[in-house]
Structure formats: structure tokens, C-alpha cells
Amino acid sequence: MANGKKLYIQTFGCQMNVRDSRRMASIMQSLSYEPTEEPSRADLILINTCSIRQEVEHKTYSALGRLRRLKARRPELILGAAGCVAQQEGEALLKRFPYLDLVVGTHQAHRLPELLRTVRERKERVAVTDFLDGNPDRFQGHTLQIPNPKSQIPNNGNRVKALVTIMEGCDNYCSYCIVPYVRGREVSRSSEDILREIRELARSGVKEVTLIGQNVNSYAGYGSNTLPSTDKGTALPGLLKLINEIAGLFRIRFTTSHPRDLSEELIKAFGRLEKLCEHIHLPLQSGSDFILRQMNRGYCREDYLRKVAELRRASPGIAISTDIMVGFPGEREEDFTDTLNLLEKVRFEAIFSFKFSPRPPTLASKLSGEIPEEEKSRRLRLLQAVQKQITLEKNRGLVGKEEEILVEGQSKRDPDWLTGRTLSNRVVNFPGEKSLVGQLVPVKITEAYQNSLKAEIL
Ligand code: SAH
Ligand code: SF4
Ligand code: F3S
């Protein structure tokens, strides 16, 4: 039934967007659109956009700008924007980019086929950005699989690991964050759906799943009668327990966790569930109580340190990574120092660090006490230098140790080398046969770098 049509998707932003791109590719594949890596060969191009920081938003605008040339050459080419900038700007995007055909909001991806028909048959340009909060339609298409094993859509190129949405949206309104405005209210996906999807994935050879959502700790077990409780604190641990029993699956991860909602039950799950990887991403944002309050994060420095201690008690080898923001309005030198010394105190395995970026209409974008750009850069450099040393020391501490690696594929640089990850989520490269892809392999770490480790098979 192939109609020879090709789809190109460029994805910006977080795993939610990666997952949505994969979902849109699946939906379009059921209409015989095959994925391509070359925009010049595509019949439909989608830019899946992100607006978390100004610089990311700019990149998505540049990507949309580059499409002008392609459309001029091939007017029949259909161009669409999806994701968070699409949600935020709606119709305005059609005005700003007169060659754009389609704007698909974050809750509307499942309507892609119908919208495409409108564009093609009625020659109309469309923008749909309604929120479907509470409407189960928003999870439509989540279980679709891409049948073509060669598809190079993000996350699908990798047959070993998969992302599985368990909740969407966010109700936290951290004062700096655009997500609640562009993703809508928090809604949990039914556990039956999630379990069905993961069983299917495991049957098709997927070995590791990462449960995703903006705030997975507040997963509420929506529509479920298989979980022991729908209480926010115990629903995720309950779900994890059921996933842990799925045959064929080796590893489970979840992201992102909000420190405030990290329950005792969930912490204990790390010591108890053998498939749950010893790694948690626990965004801190700042080590200063004053700034944390301004950010509306709902925890203080001591709360965070206590959770870290509890995690390490439940699972002594657990790796902890985090997000840090510098230059929030009103951040004094002493606040920044609090962040630096918290880094030294916790000694994270890895951090992702950002300069504060004002995002209208968030509260923080209206705060006074703006930190000059050069000062933000100076703080970021200092922060990253401190962490670089910690990461390297931690990685070097692994040399000579044995680790179990889930082999994800062949190395891009050398086909005689394999690449995979430790339980703690570190990238490890080692010589080995292609036939080991998808298997758990014991290795000994031989060399440590900033971002990866080298090893040999035991
Ligand atoms: N839901 C997750 C992460 C959301 S966005 C959480 O709650 O942690 C990922 C990271 O981007 C955030 O952790 C934060 O560090 C950063 N971020 C979000 N908004 C930002 C902004 N306005 N400026 C700079 N960094 C921001
Ligand atoms: Fe943004 Fe805060 Fe929600 Fe994370 S928890 S998505 S930082 S509002
Ligand atoms: Fe970006 Fe939207 Fe994710 S703003 S970080 S793509 S939720």
C-alpha cells in the first residue's frame, strides 16, 4: 500500500517531544508515510518545537526559517510545526512563516491525518491548539509501533530502549517554567494502557523502558484498577512493581522526578525492584533556600539533602543527576555559593546546567533583580568547572570495577566497538560482536573520561 511518501521530523526539547515525534511518525506511517533523514526528499516536514529557554526557541525559529527555501523549490511540500512553540504561538506562527501549512498544538498530535487532509484537499492553512485536559483522546496513538525496523526516527533507531509516557502536563507552576502553559494540566495515563504497551514492547525485543512525564512522581494511576492505590505517593511504586514482573524486560528507568513528591515508597523501590536501574534524575535548580522559595519549588535545601541521604540508604550505589539553573532574578553571590557547596556536598554523577531565561508569561519573567548576562555566564562556568572535577573523579573511581552493560548498538565511529550503558546510566564503549546488541554483558572498566567509560568484556 506504499504511496511512496516521505516524512521528515526535526525534534527539539525534551523526551516528551522525542516521544511525540515518534508517535506522529507512527501515525503517519499508518498512512504509508515512510520516515526519511533528508528534508530535501520529504513530502511532509514537521518541526517539533521547544520553548523551555529563549535560545532553544530561537533554534526552532531558525529551523522553521530554513524551510522557506525548500517550499519555494517544491510548493507541494507540506510544512508543519508541532510541540511547545506551536502551542504557545498558534495562528501567529502561520503569520510569521507564510509558507507554513500546519500548526499542531501539544494535545492535538493524534489529529494529524485529518489536519493534513484539510491542508491538501481544501488548500487551507490550519492551526489547532485546544487543550484536551482530562480527555483520554490525548493519549491516542501512544501504543502505535513503527513497523519498519530501519526507521531512523529518534528513539526508534534504537530497538533496545523505548520511552513510555505515563503522565502528561504539569501543575507545579515553578515560577520560571513555561511547561504548565504549553503542556496543560497534569493527567495520568491508565496503568492498563501503560502495561499493555510495555508488554508489547518487551515482546518485540525492547529490553529497557524509561517511563516519562514532566513530574512522574505525581503519577496518579488514572483509570486503573490494577494498582493497590491511586494515591499520588504510592501509584508510581505500584506501577513499577507491575512493570518489574514483565518477562523479557531487563531494565526500568523513570524521569523526571520532582524532589518534593519523591515518596518514601518510591525511594524504597530502588532497593527492592531488581529491574529498576540505580539512577535517578532529581532536579535541584538551586542550593539556596531563598531562591528555591522564589522558584516555588516546594522544598528547601535540607529537604533535598534528606532525600538524597534516604536514596543512598535504600540503594547505596545509586547515581544521582540533577538540573541546576544560575542567574535567577535576585540571585545573590551567597545564593550561588550555596548552590556550589551543595554540589560539593551531594557529589552528583552528572548535572545539566542552564542560565535563567525569562519566559513570558511566567511569574519569574516579571521579577526585578535581573542578573547581567556576563554574570550568568561567569556563574555557569564556575558551576560547570566544579562539577567537571566531581564527574571525572567519580568516573575514575570506576576503573577496575565490574559493571553490567545493556548493549544498545555498534559504535558510530568503529563497527568493531559496542556502546551501552551501566545501571547508573553511564555510557560505556568496548570491543565486541554485533550479536551482543540487546544483551546484558558483564565488563570491566578500563578507562574513564568526562562523558564516557572504556571497558573490556569479562
Ligand atoms: N519537569 C522537569 C524539567 C523541566 S525542564 C522538572 O521539574 O525538573 C528541564 C530543565 O530546564 C529544568 O529542570 C530547569 O533546570 C530548566 N529550565 C526550565 N525553565 C527554565 C528557564 N526559564 N530558564 C532556564 N532554565 C530553565
Ligand atoms: Fe516546569 Fe516545575 Fe513543572 Fe518541571 S515541575 S515542568 S520545572 S513547572
Ligand atoms: Fe521543551 Fe516543551 Fe519539553 S518546552 S522541554 S519540549 S515540554
pLDDT in tens, 433-445: 999 999 999 999 9
Atom of ligand 3 nearest to the CA of 178: 4
Ligand 2 center to 109 CA (angstroms): 22
Ligand 2 center to 447 CA (angstroms): 37
DSSP per residue over 285-331, as a string?
B-S-HHHHHHHT-S--HHHHHHHHHHHHHH-TT-EEEEEEEE--TT-
Per domain, the residue ranges of the chain are: 5-128, 134-277, 312-396, 402-457
Contact 351, 316 (CB under 8 A): no
Please choose from 15, 16, 89 the residue to mutate so as to test ligand 3's pocket, defined by most ligand atoms within 8 A of CB: 16
Nearest ligand, CA of residue 47?
Answer: 3
Mean pLDDT within 344-348: 98
pLDDT digits (tens, 9 = 90+) for 392-432: 999 999 999 999 999 999 988 888 999 999 999 999 999 99
Domain 5-128 CATH class label = alpha beta
Report the run of H or E that residue 190 belongs to, with start and end.
none
Atom of ligand 2 nearest to the CA of 215: 5
Q: What pLDDT shows up at residue 154?
A: 35
pLDDT digits (tens, 9 = 90+) for 170-183: 999 999 999 999 99
Report the run of H or E that residue 114 belongs to, with start and end.
helix 112-122
Nearest ligand, CA of residue 86?
Answer: 3
CB 376 less than 6 A from any atom of ligand 1:
no
Please choose from 214, 286, 328 the residue to mutate so as to test ligand 2's pocket, defined by most ligand atoms within 8 A of CB: 214
Please choose from 52, 172, 258, 261 the residue to mutate so as to test ligand 2's pocket, defined by most ligand atoms within 8 A of CB: 172
Q: Do domains 134-277 and 312-396 have the same CATH topology?
A: yes
Rounded distance between C-alpha atoms, residue 251 and residue 423, angstroms: 8
Contact 109, 82 (CB under 8 A): yes
Q: What pLDDT shows up at residue 114?
A: 94
Which protein residue's CA is at the shortest distance from atom 12 of ligand 1?
Answer: 323
Nearest ligand, CA of residue 84?
Answer: 3
Which protein residue's CA is at the shortest distance from atom 5 of ligand 2?
Answer: 172
Instruction: Please check whether the domain covering 312-396 is classified as CATH 3.30.750.200.
Output: yes
Q: What pLDDT shows up at residue 136?
A: 62
The SS3 of residue 101 is coil
DSSP 91: H
Rounded to the nearest 10 degrees, the angle between the axes of helix 264-272 and helix 232-244 is: 20
Report the run of H or E that residue 170 belongs to, with start and end.
none
Mean pLDDT within 318-334: 98
Report the run of H or E that residue 210 belongs to, with start and end.
strand 208-212
Q: How confident is the model at residue 137 (pLDDT cuts 50, 70, 90)?
A: low
Which protein residue's CA is at the shortest distance from atom 3 of ligand 3?
Answer: 14
Q: What pLDDT shows up at residue 224?
A: 46
Ligand 2 center to 284 CA (angstroms): 11
Q: What pLDDT shows up at residue 151?
A: 40
In this structure, CATH architecture of domain 134-277: 2-Layer Sandwich (3.30)
Mean pLDDT within 109-132: 93
CB 177 less than 6 A from any atom of ligand 1:
yes
**Is the pLDDT score of 141 beyond 80?**
no
**Is the pLDDT score of 150 beyond 90?**
no
Q: What pLDDT shows up at residue 160?
A: 92
Ligand 3 center to 401 CA (angstroms): 37
pLDDT digits (tens, 9 = 90+) for 352-366: 999 999 999 999 999
CB 178 less than 6 A from any atom of ligand 3:
yes
Q: What pLDDT shows up at residue 134?
A: 66
Rounded distance between C-alpha atoms, residue 422 and residue 405, angstroms: 5
Q: Which of 308, 328, 435 is nearest to 371 (CA)?
A: 328
Q: How many CA atoms lie within 13 A of 410 on its CB side?
A: 8
Ligand 2 center to 422 CA (angstroms): 28
Residue 235 vs residues 167, 169, 278, 314: alpha-carbon distances, Å: 12, 17, 20, 19
Mean pLDDT of the chain: 91
Ligand 1 center to 57 CA (angstroms): 14
DSSP per residue over 22-63, as a string?
HHHHHHHHTTTEEE-S-GGG-SEEEEEE--SSHHHHHHHHHH
CATH topology of domain 402-457: OB fold (Dihydrolipoamide Acetyltransferase, E2P) (2.40.50)
Please choose from 84, 215, 323 the residue to mutate so as to test ligand 3's pocket, defined by most ligand atoms within 8 A of CB: 84
Q: What pLDDT shows up at residue 148?
A: 43
Nearest ligand, CA of residue 16?
Answer: 3
Please choose from 52, 163, 167 the residue to mutate so as to test ligand 3's pocket, defined by most ligand atoms within 8 A of CB: 52
Q: Name which residue leads in pLDDT, 218 or 83.
A: 83
CB 83 less than 6 A from any atom of ligand 3:
yes
**Is the pLDDT score of 96 beyond 60?**
yes
CB 352 less than 6 A from any atom of ligand 2:
no
Which protein residue's CA is at the shortest distance from atom 4 of ligand 2?
Answer: 214
Q: What pLDDT shows up at residue 2?
A: 53
What is the grid cell recorded at 60?
A: 526552532
Question: Over the Cα atoms of the chain, what is R_g?
Answer: 22
Q: What pLDDT shows up at residue 162?
A: 92
What residues contact residue 150 under an 8 Å CB cut-off, 6+ apart?
Answer: none
Q: How confident is the model at residue 3 (pLDDT cuts 50, 70, 90)?
A: low
Q: How confident is the model at residue 31 (pLDDT cuts 50, 70, 90)?
A: confident
Atom of ligand 3 nearest to the CA of 12: 6
